[in-house]
Structure 1
C-alpha cells in the first residue's frame, strides 16, 4: 500500500487558490458512482453534461459520494495509478495526462480524477474500466493535484525498484502473484535437505509450481525467503517472535498489497522439521469493499439457507460450525454476521487469534495466544471476554472452541441470553458433541442440552467444482475402478446418472489443465430440539443420529437437505454434474453408504 494516509488538509496557499479557485470554493456537485455493472453511456444526456462539468455519477446501489479533491492530502488512499506505467489498465491521451489520472483504491475500485475534460473521454475511460471489472467513481481536482499524483508514482516506483532488488522479496512476490492468478488458497514452502520446493493448494489439491523448475529451488534460498518475509513484513503485534528461527514453530500475519486489485493478508505458519523448516502461507482476501459471499454462492441449498436465516432471528444460544482446517468456517461466520438483518441494530463483538478478515458491522479484538504459556493465553482470553460482558453485547464470536476457556466463554454468553458464534475442529455433525465434551474442552452434556443453549450446528467441507468446459461422462473414463464401482452402486439404487460428469485428468485451457474450477460447500445442518437433545443428554449419540436421519425425505435427487448427510449433499451435486462423485469418499465409503441407504429404504 502506498503511504497516502489521510491527514488534515492544510490551508490552501494563495498560489493554490489562483491555480484552482473553483476546486476549493465551488460547493460539491451531486455525485453518482459508476458501478462495474453499470454503463456510463446508459445515463441521461443531462447527467453526462453534469459529469463533463466536473460532477460525478453515484450508483443507486452504492450512494458513496466523493467530495471534490482540493489538495493532494485529500486524494483517497490508493495502490497504484491505473493510467500510467508500461502496461496501463486504461489509456489516457498524451495531451490529457496532465488533466486526468485514474487510481486504484483497492478491491477493484477505481477513482477517475480530472481537471475538466470532455464527457466523451470520461465515457471511454469508465467503459474501459468496466470491461476490466473495475467499479468507478469520478472526482474533480486541480491540475496541480494531478501533477502531484503523477510525481508520487515516480517516487514510489523508485522505492519499489530498490526493494525488488532483494531476490528473496522478488521471489515471494512471484509466488504470491502466481497463487492469486491460479486461485490458490495456500502456498507451501518446504526445505528437504539440500533442496527446497514451492507448492500450492489449488481447488483443494496440492500441486508444484508450474514452469521449468517445477517449483524446485535451493534449500538455502527457500529458507531465506521465509526469514525475509517473517522478519521484515509481519504486522505489528501479530507474531509469535520478532525473528525467524528454523527450529521454532512460528506464526504471524503479513499484510500484502503489492498485487494490483487485491488486498491480502498472509497467515504465516512455520514448522520445524528433521530436514529443515516448512512454511505455509494462507491467502486471505481482506478488501473491505469485496461483496459479502452469500450462502447460496458458497454452495448451500435452499433448505440449508433457511436454517441459517432462522438462526439469525434467534436472539440467544450458540451457533457452531464444524469442519477440518481450511473448510471455510471463518468465511461462513463472516457471512452470517454481515448478512444478518439484525447486525446493524446489534452490538457484535469478536475475539480472534488472529483477526483474519474484516467483518462489516463487528468490533474485532485481536489477541495473541502464547502456545508456550497456556496460562498467560488463558488470562488474555478471559480478560477480553470479561470486558465483552461489560460492553452490552448482543452477538459475540469467540473463534475456535479449543479449550476450557473458549468453551466457558461460549457457555457464559449463551446462558446469559446472548448469541455466541464459534467454530469446532470436528469431523461430521455427529462429532461436534463428542468433541465438546472431551477432556480438552470439558463441556458437560447436561449444559450442552440445556434449553436455548444450542441454536444451530453445522458441519461443512469444501470440494472442487468440475470445469464445465472439459468434464467427462462416465463412458469416456477408461479403466478407473472407482468410477466403475460408483456407477454400479448408483444403478443398483436406481439413481439417474445421465447428468453426472467426472474430472478430466488432462483438463483444458479454461481450467489451466486442472479439470476443476473453484470450490463449493457441502454440508449437514441441524437445529437441535428436545427429540435430538434427549439422547445426547443420555450419551446415546447413535440414537441422536437416527433422530436426525429420520427427518430426511430419502430422495437423493431432491435439494431438500433436512436430515441428510454431507455425503448425500456431495452426491446430490455429483448427480447434477457439479462435482466429481469420487469426492464423496472424503466423508464415507461407497459400500457402506450403499448398505445404509438400502437399509433405510427397506
Structure 2
C-alpha cells in the first residue's frame, strides 16, 4: 500500500482516536528496536487489536473489511483462481454477488492482483481488506499448506528436481539435504513448528497416508488438521525431524523416542519426540514444552472461589495423601505444580518425581523418571524417603508398589501428592482398593480425592449470545435456582474468528470435583460402599460435581454448554436430598448481559 497520498498506519490510528500520540511513540521505539512491523508491535503491546487496524485501513482506502473467520470462502469460488495466484497476491476469492466477485485481499490496492483475478474468472472484482493471518489460515484449509510452508516446499521441489532427479533419487538425497541449514525442507519443518507455537499447540502430529502426509496440531485439547504435505516430501520431512531428535534415519521398523532442544520464535522448547511405524510410513508425535514459560499460579487455573478456598485448606494439611484424578491432558500436573509452588518455602524439603519435568521450579527438588535404567516412580520414591522430605509429589500412581510406598509415606508424617486415572473423585477411592491397597490404609491416609477436567473457554472476540432451546432449558433449570426464570436466561456459544484461528475457543479453564474424607465417607469406605453411594454422600455434604463446577462457567459466559457436555454429564441417580441441593442456585449473581432479572 505504498501510496504517497495515504497516511502512515500510526498517524491513521491516532487520527481515528484508537491510539494516543504517547502510546504511538512508545510503539515506534519498540518497533525500531525489534525491526518488526508497526501493526504487529501494536498488537503485541496490546495497544490495539487487529480489527481496529483493519477498520482504520478500510476507512482510509474506501473499501470494506471482511472477517474470514465468520465468512468462510466458498470452496468452489476459491477454486476459480489458481492457488499460486492466490498465494502470490494474497488475494482470496470468497463469494459471488451477481457478476461481482468478492475477493479478500491483504492489499486491496494491488491492481495487478485485481487484473489477474478478473482475467482468470471473467468477473468484476470487488476487493475487501482482510487479515493476512486469517487469509493464510483459510488458504491452509482450502489448499492444504500455509503460504510460508508452501514456498519452502516449492523451493525444495525446484532444488531437488533441477538436475533431472527421479523421485527415488530425490529421496536418497534427503539425509544430506536435511543437514543443510539453508535447505528449503529445513525451513519447511521450521514453519511447521513455528505454526504450532503461534497457535499455542501442545502437540504436533505428522500422519502418513497413502498419497499425502497430514499435519495436525492439538490446540486446547482438540486436534485440528492444519496442512497436507505432498507424499514426495514425506521422507525428507520425517528425516529432518529425526535428525533433530538424534535418531537413526535409516531405522523405520521400530518405534523410537527422542528429544529436540530448539529455539522457536525466540523461545526455548523441549520437544518430546515419538515415532510409530504405520502402513504408510512413520507417524510422528511431538509434545512441545516451553522451557521459559512460567508455571501457572493457583489463581490462574480457573477454579471458582469456593473451590479454590477448599483446595488451599487441603494442600496446607500437615500430612496425608492427596490425589488428583482424571484422564491424560486434564491438567493434573499443572495443578500439582501450582500447588507445590504455593506451599514451598526455605523451611521445608519439597521433592517431586515426574515424567517428564514440564516446569522447572527453583524452590523444589525435581526428579526425572528414567525407565532405561529401571529408575521408576516406585524406585525414585523409595530413594526420596531417605532424603528427609517434608512434601512429596509422585507424578502418577501406576501400580500397587507405588501406591503402598506413597501411602506409607503419608502415614509416617509426610504430605504426599499424586495422580490416578479415574473418571471421578469417588472412583479414585475404589481404584486404590482394586490395586490391592487395604481399605483401612485408604481411610487412614487419604485426605482428599479431586477429579479435574479442562474446559475450553469461549473466544471473547466472537462468542455469540443466543436463547436456549427446550432441551437446554431443561438442563439448566435445576441449577439456575427456583426463583429464576430460565426463559430470561441467555448463554454464549462458539462461533469462530481470526483471533481464535476460527476455532471459537481460546484457552482452557479447570473444573473440579473435590471429595474430602469426612467421618461418614471413611465409614462408607470401610463398609465397602459403592462409588455411587460415596458420591451421593459427598454431594449431601456440599461437594459440587464436575458438571456443576462447569455449569457455573456456562452461566458466567466463559464456556458453552456444548463444551461442558464434552467432558461431563449431570448426575442421573440423584436421590431426593441431592436433588434438593441441585435445585439451589449454583451462582448467587448472574452476569447482567445474560440474565434480565
Equivalent residue runs for 1:163-562 within 5 Å: 164-209=181-226, 215-219=227-231, 221-222=233-234, 224-233=236-245, 245-260=251-266, 262-287=267-292, 290-340=293-343, 342-370=344-372, 377=374, 380-438=376-434, 441-450=435-444, 453-475=445-467, 484-491=470-477, 498=488, 500-505=490-495, 507-541=496-530, 542-552=532-542
Equivalents in 1 of 2:328, 2:301: separation in Å? 17
Answer whether contact 2:547 2:570 (CA < 8 A) is retained. no
Q: Indicate the residue corresponding to 2:546 in structure 1.
A: 566
State the Cα RMSD in Å.
3.4
Q: Does the residue aligned with 1:269 lie in a helix, a strand or coil? A: strand
Equivalents in 1 of 2:508, 2:368: separation in Å? 29
Answer whether contact 1:191 1:223 (CA < 8 A) is retained. no
1:91 aligned to 2, 17, 32, which one?
32
Q: Does the residue aligned with 1:526 lie in a helix, a strand or coil? A: strand
Equivalents in 1 of 2:478, 2:317: separation in Å? 43
Answer whether contact 1:348 1:393 (CA < 8 A) is retained. yes
Q: Does the residue aligned with 2:491 lie in a helix, a strand or coil? A: coil
Equivalent residue runs for 1:50-129 within 5 Å: 90-91=31-32
Deviation for aligned residue 1:528: 1.2
Q: What runs of 5+ residues in structure 1 fail to find an aligned partner?
A: 1-40, 42-86, 93-101, 104-126, 134-160, 210-214, 235-240, 371-375, 478-482, 553-562
Q: Does the residue aligned with 1:502 lie in a helix, a strand or coil? A: strand
Q: Indicate the residue corresponding to 2:65 in structure 1.
A: none
Equivalents in 2 of 1:232, 1:517: separation in Å? 30
- Worse overlay, 511-520 or 215-224: 215-224
After superposition, the Cα gap between the structure-2 partners of 1:539 and 1:512, relative to the gap in structure 1 and judged at 3 Å, is same
Deviation for aligned residue 1:244: 7.6
Equivalents in 2 of 1:297, 1:422: separation in Å? 21
Answer whether contact 2:461 2:497 (CA < 8 A) is retained. yes
Q: Does the residue aligned with 1:277 lie in a helix, a strand or coil? A: strand
After superposition, the Cα gap between the structure-2 partners of 1:471 and 1:333, relative to the gap in structure 1 and judged at 3 Å, is same
Q: Indicate the residue corresponding to 1:581 in structure 2.
A: 561
| Deviation sequence 1:461-487 (CA, Å, 0-9, x none) | 111111122212224x9xxxxx55113
Equivalents in 2 of 1:593, 1:88: separation in Å? 63
Deviation for aligned residue 1:198: 0.4
Equivalents in 2 of 1:331, 1:163: separation in Å? 38
> How many residues are aligned here?
417
Answer whether contact 1:307 1:527 (CA < 8 A) is retained. no
Deviation for aligned residue 1:247: 3.8
| Deviation sequence 1:186-225 (CA, Å, 0-9, x none) | 211111233210011223322111xxxxx11134634543
Q: Does the residue aligned with 2:528 lie in a helix, a strand or coil? A: coil
Answer whether contact 2:453 2:511 (CA < 8 A) is retained. yes
Q: Does the residue aligned with 1:571 lie in a helix, a strand or coil? A: helix
Q: What runs of 5+ residues in structure 2 fail to find an aligned partner?
A: 1-21, 23-27, 36-40, 48-177, 584-597
| Deviation sequence 1:95-115 (CA, Å, 0-9, x none) | xxxxxxx99xxxxxxxxxxxx
Deviation for aligned residue 1:90: 4.7
State the TM-score, normalizing by the size of structure 2.
0.63
- Worse overlay, 586-595 or 513-522: 586-595
Equivalent residue runs for 1:37-48 within 5 Å: none
Deviation for aligned residue 1:589: 4.2
Deviation for aligned residue 1:548: 0.5
Equivalents in 2 of 1:225, 1:430: separation in Å? 46
- Worse overlay, 492-501 or 356-365: 492-501
| Deviation sequence 1:360-412 (CA, Å, 0-9, x none) | 31111222225xxxxx63x6544433321221111122211112332233123
Deviation for aligned residue 1:429: 1.2
Compare the two structures and name the one with the higher helix fraction: 2
Q: Does the residue aligned with 2:502 lie in a helix, a strand or coil? A: coil
| Deviation sequence 1:159-204 (CA, Å, 0-9, x none) | xx98532444323321221112112222111112332100112233
After superposition, the Cα gap between the structure-2 partners of 1:318 and 1:249, relative to the gap in structure 1 and judged at 3 Å, is farther
- Worse overlay, 485-494 or 532-541: 485-494
Q: Indicate the residue corresponding to 1:44 in structure 2.
A: none
After superposition, the Cα gap between the structure-2 partners of 1:203 and 1:387, relative to the gap in structure 1 and judged at 3 Å, is closer
Q: Does the residue aligned with 1:520 lie in a helix, a strand or coil? A: strand
Answer whether contact 1:196 1:218 (CA < 8 A) is retained. yes
State the TM-score, normalizing by the size of structure 1.
0.62
After superposition, the Cα gap between the structure-2 partners of 1:425 and 1:449, relative to the gap in structure 1 and judged at 3 Å, is same
After superposition, the Cα gap between the structure-2 partners of 1:306 and 1:243, relative to the gap in structure 1 and judged at 3 Å, is farther
Equivalents in 2 of 1:390, 1:351: separation in Å? 14
Deviation for aligned residue 1:276: 3.5
- Worse overlay, 402-411 or 462-471: 402-411
